[in-house]
Structure 1
Amino acid sequence: MKAEDLMTAPPVTVRPATTAFEAALVMEREAVGCVLVTDHGRLCGILTDRDLTVRVLAHGPHPAQPVAELMTTPVVTVAGDADLDTAYRSFRNTGVRRLPVLDGDRPVGMLTVDDLLRDVVERLLDLLIPVSRSALRESAA
């Protein structure tokens, strides 16, 4: 399975000149915890809800500050055609919770730790359901 098979697409993006306030509104509207900062379709950085808290609110409200001054760079990313082992290693080695998925240098989606967890649970259920049905049939006999 590839990163692109589990990613959420399209990614939620804002431009570098977008204000912190506007980015927060986008996050609220789209029900996401981060936005990708792009310029002409190319990834420049990532802005998370934590970035807004730590870099804006903790130092006094600066809602008009552009996201270009707040975003995290460089961004840890994964290629869309990368296998999930690569994504797992990236999460494990960097401690990030979100990986923008790229096609070349253009973001095409977002892969989160939650996406991987959901996949693990679904795979586990796929294994356990037939086993539990078999066990139930055997105990009924």
Structure 2
Amino acid sequence: MRVSALMTTPPVVVAPRTAARQAALRMDDEAVGCLLVAEGEHLCGILTDRDLAILTLGRGLAPDTPVSEFMSTPVVTLDVADDLETAYRLFRRSGLRRLPVLDGERPVGLLAVDDLFRDVLQRLADLLGPISWSVLRDDHPGPVEQPAE
């Protein structure tokens, strides 16, 4: 399976000159914890809600500070054609929780560890569902009676 099957699209993108306050408001409006910072179709950096909290509030940066001054660079990325095994390897090696997905140099999505968790849990549920029902049928050949109160 390709990362494109699980990634969130489109990614939420801001320009490098975007003020910290505007970036925070954009995260709130879009209900995301991460913004990709891009100039045109070129990815420049990544900005998380943690970056905003620690670097602006914690270190006293002004709310009008451009995100280019505190975004994370260089960015570890995935290619839209990469398979999930590549994503798992990159997550393990990098210790990151979110990876931008690129098509060439253009940001097209974002893959989070949470996306992989959801996929694994869904696959496990799909696998265990039929097994659970067969066990229940074997243990209870007839309808299950409710205990009398």
Question: Hey, what does 1:70 align to over in structure 2?
Answer: 70
Q: Secondary structure at the match of 1:124?
A: helix
Q: State the distance in 2 between where 1:58 and 1:139 align.
A: 58
Question: Hey, what does 2:92 align to over in structure 1?
Answer: 92
Q: State the distance in 2 between where 1:20 and 1:122 align.
A: 37
Q: State the distance in 1 between where 2:59 and 2:37 align.
A: 22
Q: Secondary structure at the match of 1:64?
A: coil
Please state if 1:82 is matched with 2:101.
no
Q: Secondary structure at the match of 2:130?
A: helix
CA contact (8 A) 2:55 2:61 kept: no
How is 1:31-70 mapped onto 2 (pairs within 5 angstroms)? 31-70=31-70
CA contact (8 A) 2:101 2:111 kept: yes
RMSD: 0.8
Unaligned runs of 5+ in 2: 142-149
Shift of 1:41: 1.4
Runs of 4+ in 1 over 6 A off after TM superposition: none
TM-score normalised according to structure 1 size: 0.97
Q: State the distance in 1 between where 2:14 and 2:20 align.
A: 10
Aligned residues: 141
Question: Hey, what does 1:17 align to over in structure 2?
Answer: 17
Unaligned runs of 5+ in 1: none
Question: Hey, what does 1:105 align to over in structure 2?
Answer: 105
Aligned-pair identity (%) = 59
Q: State the distance in 2 between where 1:133 and 1:56 align.
A: 52
Question: Hey, what does 2:127 align to over in structure 1?
Answer: 127
Q: State the distance in 2 between where 1:54 and 1:48 align.
A: 10
